[in-house]
Amino acid sequence: MLAGHQEYDVVVTAVAPAGTTVQADGHDGFIDQAEHPSWWSDTPRAAVGDRMRAVVLDATGTPPRFSDLPGDLRTARSLRHTEPPARLCPPPGGGRTVEWAAVEEALGVALPTDYKRLVEWYGGGLFAGVLRLLEPGCPDAMYDLVAQTAEREEVLAELWEAGEDKPSELHEGSARLVPRGYAEGAGHFLYWLVRPGTEPEEWTILLNEGRGPLREACPVSCGQFLLDVVAGTTTSFHFTDLDDVVDPEDRRRFAPDSQLLDQ
């Protein structure tokens, strides 16, 4: 049985003007002409017998729909990182609907798909008793993604002007930091490192120490970082000792902003 967002090695079995029929893991599938690189570039059109790496866009279709576009492959990989945390730390239910176009316009950047899914599943709140996820539209500006982005830009600019070293990664053209969360108590801020020409699904995490100038680069996505912290597999220096400071029962719990702000 084919599964959504999963990658497969596929073989082209037929080619038509509308797209390409492929076989994956014993199942037939279809790649629309606009979901093959040849539609967007000078890549040769698919031919019978070609082998390629493709991702399932819709496993319920007849036949299931695939894509061979690099962007779709990146998106699928980031989305797969949100599924294990949901099993380890179940969402509270209900979910959120967000006008992402308006949020992204306010920020001036498109946001990673895995982050959007996490917000839609969980909303903002606290994972593992320590890891805060910012959300857009939170009634408290301290936990609001857009408000914190503006505030942290001012704070960082003042620190750099005062003599704190600016991250070397930010000397690259229009590269910038966008906050996505922080460590409750310690105050370590977690930022996306937004680089020109880099797709949101390829952004990595830069951690800024809460009470000092130290920084830690974490070359993983938002979803993967969260999964590693919840599962206890993180290599981040600042989160490897959670078992010493977090109740084991809280390690795999999520506390939503709606609950925390009422306390």
Q: Compute, in degrees rounded to 10, the torsion defined by CA atoms 172, 173, 174, 176.
A: 20
Distance CA 113, CA 108 (A): 16
Per-residue model confidence (pLDDT) at position 28:
93
Nearest to 200 by CA among 99, 104, 58: 104
Residues in CB range of 126: below 8 A, 6 or more apart: 132, 133, 184, 254, 255, 260
Mean pLDDT for 183-193 is: 89
Per-residue model confidence (pLDDT) at position 179:
95
Distance CA 238, CA 234 (A): 9
Residue 263 confidence (pLDDT) above 60: no
- Separation of CA 97 from chain center: 17
| Span 217-255, pLDDT tens digits | 988 888 888 888 888 888 888 877 777 767 777 778 898
Per-residue model confidence (pLDDT) at position 19:
93
Record the tokens describing residue 41, joined without a space.
């570039």
3-state secondary structure of 59: coil
8 Å CB contact between 13 and 21: yes
